[in-house]
Amino acid sequence: MRTWSYARILALGFVLAGLLACGSCKRKPATPEPSTEPTLRLYLVSTMAGALEPCGCQKDMLGGIDHMAHLVRTKKPAVANPLLLAAGPTMFMDPKLESKKRAQDEWKAEAIAASLKALNLAAWTPGCNDWAAGGSRLGELARATGAVLLGANLEASKELKGALPLVPSHVTDVNGQKVGIAGVSIPKHRGALPAGVQAGDATKALAEAKKGLESAGAKILIALVALDRGEALRLVEAVPGFHVMVIGKPSDEGEGNDAPTPPVLVGRTLVVQPPNHLQAVAVVDLFVREGSFDFVDGSGLDVAEQRRSLESRISSLEKRIAEWESKKSVSAEDLAARRKDLASMKAELEKLVAPAPPRTASFFRYELEQVKESVGTDDAVAGRMAGYYKRVNEHNKKAFADRLPPKVSEGQSHYVGAEECSGCHGEAHDFWKKTRHAKAYATLSEQFKEFNLDCVSCHVTGYEEPGGSTVTHVQRLMDVQCETCHGAGSKHAESSDAKDIQPAPNKDVCASKCHHPPHVGPEWSVDEAWKGIIGPGHGLPVK
């Protein structure tokens, strides 16, 4: 056995002490800055509901699949292989198709499906509207998207088994990560399911689908659900463990746009519900650190909620202060106190800053990106849309060639057109010709939309009114003419009696006919618009 002398032990102690002292002089390695490029990016769409693009009379309206395509392809920082996912009604605006619009709506759905395929839609969960043209047609459209149609709790009838490619879940490898996606839907409209499908227990089905995804090795779990929001939130509590849940509506109806719904964290699950009709797309970036899939909030969702609340209160108080000032209905002391409250809230808002993302933990970032014209346009998708409009135009021009307006009852006025009015109202007619209303039809014909049943009614006069116009019979009644606001004018043209016409139409006529959401934005004002249609000889004295 080797023995150590006291001198050798002492010398070794000095060496070790020196090494330790040297080590203590070295800087500890700095924690690396969070990567600016996420591991995985999700583009999430909810309740698209057949909205190929917005129909409106303002620039930069919300919506448009050509604008969403450009956003997805150009958003910075660029991310390899982003996942596009959708939940809720996607292909059709309504759960039932009108017979006269069936061909047009089915062709629009085909254009949507082809555009989603070009954008590499990975998976979607359908809503009731998607069965509007039947289960077999839904199957065709699903295949045309190239995406997986998810419905863990849905069962097709025997007749549709082969036609409807429903599966409970899907696993895909993206950027070195195994991503599992499951979907459930209760596609009811007014309490009824579409023909050919049954909906089972969504909670049980989603729990089973989650187990299957975990067994397949999926590390990032996403749920796509087409349920009422209350049901969806209860579902995420009952089946925890998903990283992201996307809520789509079980059905949608009409062209009305929903307001944005803020994201929420339920346990560790980020729950998002972008607004319908492609007004916006939710973008979720996931940053995986050190193999951990426990994502914390890197967006400051709680701060964002506080900001929304404060901004709402500030806006409300500003309006009240302005009203009190104009009416002088509040004492100077009370007004000063309210101004002080306003200043305090604004100061509090300035202090609310989203926290920096964690330096070491895995985290997510959420952003709601508005989809509008100023985002940019994807030329390939825009070309596909133009092809759809041309196809519809050619079809409808022939299909509705014999469609005439309703007949005029005895003693009832019919439409005569602006040229007939110009004989007595030349100055008003001259002013009208300078307005945008006088070019309304051209805005359609330039885009191959003049025979489109979604568009024409607001760009002609007397549409489907007795003695008026139809989709193809628009002679003398192109554009938004005098009789749109003043009423059919044949009796007035004969009598020149003011009682046979509406001399001073109510401003409400604008909103009731065409200028209502979603054709105008929330900032649109009839009072401001009125200034564009009133002028010398038309409501104002001739200069």
pTM summary value: 0.84
pLDDT at 35: 56
CA distance 458 to 189: 29
pLDDT at 44: 98
Q: How far is CA 310 from the centre of its chain?
A: 25
pLDDT at 6: 38
Of 220, 236, 287, 251, nearest to 35 by C-alpha is: 287
- pLDDT tens for 67-106 read 999 999 999 898 999 999 999 999 999 999 999 999 999 9
Intervals of the chain under pLDDT 50: 1-33
pLDDT at 30: 40
Q: Judging by DSSP bridges, how do beta strands 197-199 and 280-287 pair with one another? A: unpaired
pLDDT at 2: 41
Q: Judging by DSSP bridges, how do beta strands 261-266 and 269-273 pair with one another? A: antiparallel
> Per-residue DSSP letters for 484-525?
HHH---HHHHHH--GGGS-SS--THHHHHHT-STTSS-TT--
Q: Please, are residues 239 and 210 in contact by the beta-carbon 8 Å criterion? A: yes
Of 223, 142, 131, 233, nearest to 184 by C-alpha is: 223
Beta strands in 255-379 (DSSP E): 261-266, 269-273, 280-287, 296-297, 363-370
pLDDT at 28: 39
Cβ within 8 Å of residue 141, ≥6 positions away: 91, 109, 110, 113, 130
Using CA atoms, how far residue 205 sits from 16, 150, 181, 369, in Å, is 63, 11, 13, 32
CATH of 403-540, one of 3.40.50.1220, 1.10.1130.10, 3.40.190.10, 3.40.1360.10: 1.10.1130.10
| CATH number for the segment(s) 40-299+359-379 | 3.60.21.10
Q: Judging by DSSP bridges, how do beta strands 148-150 and 166-167 pair with one another? A: parallel
CA distance 234 to 494: 67
Look at residue 143 and give its three-state secondary structure.
helix
Identity of residue 178: K
pLDDT at 20: 36
